Structure 1
Amino acid sequence: MPAPGSPTARLRRFVKVGLVVLLLLGVLPLSASGLAPGRQPGAEPAARKLGDRVTFGAYVDGMTHDPALLDGFEDLVGHDAGIASYYWGYGDVFPGPTELAFADGGRRRVLLSWDMGPTRFASWSNGEHDAYLDTLVAAARAYPYDVYVRPWPEMNGDWQTFQPTRPGAAPREHGGSYAEFKKAWRHVVTYFRARGADNVKWVFNPTTDVYAETTDVRRIWPGRRYVDVLGLDGFNWGSDTTWGRWQGFERIFGPQYDRLTRLHPTAPVWVCEVGSKEPRKDDGAPADSSRSKAQWVRDALATRRFPRIEALVWFQADKERDWRVDSSPGSLRALREGL
């Protein structure tokens, strides 16, 4: 920094005064002056609309038993499903013939939710499941494409029996502590990589929930070396008989997106599950009569709030709510137009 009153300092003051005069005269645009408060170094660039740039994919209820259901979904929405998403559990062996079928010669990426079963985190890090991991490693090395795996999906949720708990808290039925979760995650990832199964890409996938009873993802983050993709599951549940409210896409995803992207400054973000209820009554819940699922979909696909979201996977199932995109003609039309 030049000393006050030095020739350099006087020159800088002279240049600043000159710039201000030019701005007042309208000779120099503010953006060219260097005085405007622009985007800070390292800040995310402005994004195009979400629907214009994401890889769109889906989980379609029953698709693992009838793969043609995903093809039918593509016809329904008038858009290719670039990601096939579905669910495996402890003891299942993957990737294999099912993944090859859904990959369709490499046209699609396969995203697998991997429920690790009724196990404690420590049992993974101490090697109790290494024989099972050996089977998965062999399958992955024989598989010709990348496969995206989300272990312990939605691990932050207080409804999960394996939700990591803070030291001193009452332990969950399965799972373990924050530290044990991180150790287990690192063990599984390292085990695959050390044996040449580099085509398995690891998706750290909490839900968007950040209320007090959930686990703060910053407490269980395993480190950027062990994560390839940041995943988020989020739904607009609307009103229930005892809880809930209608929430837009930005409100649902914003807080957790911000936490995750600070943990890893470069990893892509995938919305691994998303859906919205209809404003009509579901399961006895009061109607959100002033709302519109079609508008919810339209707003979601038009947002520019999340520049690092690269994939959007629709949860096409009638489950706790009718999450299906074709639950109404307007909702389906909004998706088709928004992509």
Structure 2
Amino acid sequence: MRGAGRLGRRARTRALLGALLLTAAAALATGCSVVHDAGTWNDPHDGPLSAGSKVTAGSTATAPAGSNASTAPQVEAYDVTPLLQPSRKILGVEISGAPESLAPAEQFAGWAGTKPNLLGEYLAWGTSFDSAAAKNAYSYGAMDFVVWEPWSPTLTQIAAGASDAYITAFATAVRAANVPIALSFGHEFNGNWYPWGTSKTTPAAFVAAWQHIHNLFEAAGATNVIWVWDPNDIFPVPDVQLKAYYPGDAYVDWAAVTGYWSEDGPNTYASLYLPTLEEIRTFTQKPFLIAETAVAPGGNQSASLTALFKAVEQHSDIVGFVWYDYDKGGDWRIENRPTLMAQFKTEAAAGGFGFDVSKLG
């Protein structure tokens, strides 16, 4: 979560040394980046590793003993095709403790009046895939949405094979779980606030790493994945061209955007999402997900929430949105705003949000 206008945010310490880099970064993996306008960028990843994350020391992991990623699984892979463009809209949530535990999702369902069907979690590179959490989400009628953060090694090193054992082990576990998951690698890559962003790497390195990871998943038979390509909204970084970062339609299932409704920045569909969507539409027609969003407290919150729901309802190519229900860099939780929570319930019900993922597969 990143962006100007965020109150009470602490800058991340960047002095991570040698072999401690990945495990330190993994311990800071809860959260994400919110951008509203150009300003002073501070890293909000100052919380503990999200529930359900199990850290593997070092930048790579070994495949399970006796495993062979090239051996075709005996059970047919879960077909995610019906989920790519569902007839009803997705209502997702990123909330502490889910999807390892369903209690937070159930709480949110009570607040929102609709069961969430995309349960987001942030995983640092080197963290093992939590099959139990993914199956938990599916049993609830939702998908596990893994936001995979490549803190170390570099994208160039990943593309060159430095993490192949880890990626293959991760992909093998995803295939073995055989439930649908959504996976976003290196989100907000068009910003300069992450090591996989514009200040530390290149578009070519990002694309090469993405394609390499995707190919290893294919080799492991892990086709039960919806690949989510998620730039930040372009408002704070208008000079970064997104097309150069696009891996290609063969490697992406959903195009996406991270964008938050602020008091002092973009707070309409036309100013927040549309410029990014229009740029993306010049090179792909993939379904579109608002992969991370929330509405800032204040005088604009009611109008902003209505605009968010209407944007998703009125555009057939937008499959849904994921609400960031955290108190981080500001309090984005709906449960602490009774009036907004009541409005959220009304909007979600009126727009026909939510469906049981397991009934579409």
TM-score, normalised via structure 1 length: 0.72
CA deviation digits over 1:134-180, x for unaligned, max 9?
A: 2112101211212110000111112122213xxxxxx52xxx22212
CA deviation digits over 1:28-61, x for unaligned, max 9?
A: xxxxxxxxxxxxxxxxxxxxxxxx9421111113
Shift of residue 228 of structure 1? 1.0
Asked if structure 2 preserves the Cα contact closer than 8 Å seen for 1:150 and 1:202, the reply is: yes
Asked if structure 2 preserves the Cα contact closer than 8 Å seen for 1:158 and 1:214, the reply is: no
Aligned match of 1:93 in 124, 128, 134?
128
Equivalent residue, structure 1, for 2:191 = 157
DSSP 3-state at the match of 2:222:
coil
The structure-2 alpha-carbon separation of the partners of 1:145 and 1:65, relative to structure 1 and needing over 3 Å to count, comes to closer
Equivalent residue, structure 2, for 1:248 = 268
Q: Distance in 2 between matches of 1:81 and 1:278?
A: 22
Q: Distance in 2 between matches of 1:61 and 1:89?
A: 15
DSSP 3-state at the match of 1:153:
coil
Aligned match of 1:103 in 119, 134, 138?
138
Is residue 114 of structure 2 the alignment partner of residue 79 of structure 1? Answer: yes
Equivalent residue, structure 1, for 2:277 = 257
DSSP 3-state at the match of 2:177:
coil
DSSP 3-state at the match of 2:329:
coil
Is residue 154 of structure 2 the alignment partner of residue 125 of structure 1? Answer: no
DSSP 3-state at the match of 2:152:
coil
DSSP 3-state at the match of 1:262:
coil
Instruction: Show the 5 A alignment for 1:227-242.
Output: 227-239=252-264
Q: How many residue pairs are counted as aligned between the two chains?
A: 261
Q: Which amino acid aligns with 2:165?
A: A
Is residue 89 of structure 2 the alignment partner of residue 63 of structure 1? Answer: no
Aligned match of 2:208 in 170, 183, 193?
183
Is residue 174 of structure 2 the alignment partner of residue 140 of structure 1? Answer: yes
The structure-2 alpha-carbon separation of the partners of 1:262 and 1:158, relative to structure 1 and needing over 3 Å to count, comes to same
- 4+ long deviations beyond 6 Å: none
Shift of residue 189 of structure 1? 0.6
Equivalent residue, structure 1, for 2:231 = 206
Percentage of identical aligned residues: 20
RMSD over aligned CA atoms reads: 2.0
CA deviation digits over 1:79-113, x for unaligned, max 9?
A: 111111111111112151111112226x1122110
Shift of residue 65 of structure 1? 6.3
Q: Which amino acid aligns with 1:143?
A: A
Q: Distance in 2 between matches of 1:264 and 1:213?
A: 19
Greater C-alpha radius of gyration: 1
Equivalent residue, structure 1, for 2:292 = 273
Q: Distance in 1 between matches of 2:238 and 2:266?
A: 20
Equivalent residue, structure 2, for 1:323 = 332
Asked if structure 1 preserves the Cα contact closer than 8 Å seen for 2:235 and 2:272, the reply is: no
Q: Distance in 2 between matches of 1:73 and 1:212?
A: 33
Shift of residue 119 of structure 1? 2.1
Unaligned runs of 5+ in 2: 1-86, 349-361
Aligned match of 1:192 in 209, 214, 217?
217
Instruction: Show the 5 A alignment for 1:18-29.
Output: none
Equivalent residue, structure 2, for 1:293 = 301
Shift of residue 188 of structure 1? 0.7
Asked if structure 1 preserves the Cα contact closer than 8 Å seen for 2:100 and 2:132, the reply is: no
Q: Distance in 2 between matches of 1:189 and 1:246?
A: 34
Q: Distance in 1 between matches of 2:222 and 2:340?
A: 40
Q: Distance in 1 between matches of 2:108 and 2:129?
A: 24
Shift of residue 299 of structure 1? 2.4
Asked if structure 2 preserves the Cα contact closer than 8 Å seen for 1:294 and 1:332, the reply is: no
DSSP 3-state at the match of 1:137:
helix
Q: Distance in 1 between matches of 2:256 and 2:237?
A: 20
The 10-residue stretch of structure 1 (88-97 or 308-317) with the greater mean CA deviation from structure 2: 88-97
Unaligned runs of 5+ in 1: 1-51, 165-170, 240-244, 280-290
